[in-house]
Amino acid sequence: MRVAIQAGPFDPGRESAVFASGRKDVGAIVTFTGVVRDTGDASLEAMEIEHYPGMTEAAVTAIAQEAQDRWSLADVLVIHRHGRLVTGDMIMMVATAARHRKDAFEAAEYLMDYLKSRAPFWKREVTAEGASWVDARDEDEDALSRW
Amino acid sequence: MRVAIQAGPFDPGRESAVFASGRKDVGAIVTFTGVVRDTGDASLEAMEIEHYPGMTEAAVTAIAQEAQDRWSLADVLVIHRHGRLVTGDMIMMVATAARHRKDAFEAAEYLMDYLKSRAPFWKREVTAEGASWVDARDEDEDALSRW
Amino acid sequence: MNVLYFAWVRERIGLPREEIDTSAATVADLVEELKGREERYAVAFSDLSALRVAIDQELSDFDAKLEGVREVAFFPPMTGG
Amino acid sequence: MNVLYFAWVRERIGLPREEIDTSAATVADLVEELKGREERYAVAFSDLSALRVAIDQELSDFDAKLEGVREVAFFPPMTGG
């Protein structure tokens, strides 16, 4: 298991290539990568991600540990950035490795649902018209109820 | 959309890095990579994958197209190998890019479920004790009913 | 008509494809015709529930008509992914 | 006790953290005490349903007791991922 909370960029291609390589008990690898995208109305100049140093690492590690307890996983990876990002930048990624695809898919979705609503990050969108904090969405909170 | 049916290896890291790069409407990228793994009892010497040239390309393209019709996707990638592979080799990968993670996850799972049971590939496991065709699993057939 | 066999169907029949001159109306009729030919076909087609069929490279079923068809393929359930 | 504020709570209160000497028994009591201090706290804490609280870096709730607690953080619902 590896958890990295960092300001700097990461290379999802290299990360997924390294992840779970050389293991003979892995049949399925799922990755999710989150990307800063234009939100529509006003063109996005930047996405600023604030976090809670100390708690962030503990909360993300606890979420990853819970995924390992619930599913039969060979390995778990979570990388999440903070600071100022622009459109097209990778915000975060998770990867799960398992014998079977069902475990790998479900664990990756679980990780994403919990990282969305239970890890102490706050997004702020900066556009030409000003900056605003991204509101938590009801559907993200609702997504937790399926686990 | 890209579909590749090939005997040669592919680099999942490079493929996922290239996939959907430079698009501003993509917020979520999901990849699945299938790996040859030791099956337990007898040590696996090789996994041989037979396919139906012509029909394979058509069937996989139709499955990828159906995924694009059902979900709001920016892009879809399917790579599937045939021929002789050994433990640790990458068999196949799918990647989906979407605005939202739900579309990317569901479409990737849909692609995997259909590639398992509706694309004309047949796996044969070669061990020290002999070779045997992999039986289709009821649960793979059942998985289709959720879509 | 071009008839193709894959995986253990191919192994049991002993060849990957053959040209067959037939007036069978449906896939099921063609199967009966082949089973009557030689033991290896009777063995390969002994349990149709374990077999799948494609007509002109599209999944089909044993009731399907063969009129105008150029290629029929028999194989076990697929195991891709 | 160390009190931390994040995102728009931090902006409304005007600082990211402060040391507070309090005898409040619960988080809710601490909030009432802060609201009584200055307008900016009253504004930041006007709708508790829009706020989350962590105690010693673990998510908690407004009924939680503060005895022995070293760090309390207030912030809006999280938006990671």
Q: How high is the pLDDT of residue A22?
A: 75
For C46-71, the pLDDT digits (tens) are: 999 999 999 999 999 999 999 999 99
Q: Quote the tokens at residue B86.
A: 């050994």
- Residue B99 in contact with residue B27, Cβ under 8 Å? yes
Partner residue opposite A26 with nearest CB, options B12, B31, B37 = B37
Among B13-27, B94-108, B127-141, C19-33, the least confident range: B13-27
| For range A32-38, the mean pLDDT | 93
Residue A30 reports pLDDT greater than 90 = yes
Q: Which amino acid is at C69?
A: V
Q: How high is the pLDDT of residue B36?
A: 94
Do C and D make contact, counting contact as 3+ CB pairs within 8 angstroms? no
For D3-14, the pLDDT digits (tens) are: 999 999 999 999
Q: Which of residues 54-113 of B touch C (CB under 8 A)?
A: 54-55, 58-59, 80, 91-92, 112
Q: Which SS3 state, helix, strand or coil, does residue A147 take?
A: coil
Q: Classify residue A129 by its DSSP letter.
A: T
What angle do the packed helices A101-118 and B101-118 form, to 10 degrees?
A: 180
Q: Find the largest Cα–Cα distance for chain D.
A: 37
CATH of domain B2-144: 3.90.1170.40
Neighbours of chain B (3+ CB pairs under 8 A): A, C
Calpha distance B15→B67 (Å, rounded): 19
Neighbours of chain D (3+ CB pairs under 8 A): A
Calpha distance B90→A26 (Å, rounded): 11
pTM tops 0.90, yes or no: yes
What is the rounded average pLDDT for all residues in chain C? 97
Calpha distance C25→C54 (Å, rounded): 15
Q: How crowded is the C-beta side of A110, counted as CA atoms within 13 Å? A: 21
**Cα C71 → chain centroid:** 10
For B87-137, the pLDDT digits (tens) are: 999 999 999 999 999 999 999 999 999 999 999 999 999 998 899 999 999
Q: Quote the tokens at residue A130.
A: 């000003």
What is the rounded average pLDDT for all residues in chain D? 97
Which of the four pLDDT bands, split at 50, 70 and 90, describes residue B40? low
- Could you state, in order of their start, the residue ranges of all structural domains in chain B? 2-144
Domains with residue ranges and CATH for chain C: 2-75 (3.10.20.30)
**ipTM here:** 0.94
Neighbours of A13 (CB within 10 A): 21
CB neighbour burial string for A49-67, b if at least 16 within 10 angstroms, e if fewer = bbbbeebbbebbeebbeeb
CB neighbour burial string for B71-88, b if at least 16 within 10 angstroms, e if fewer = bebbbbbbbbbbeebebe
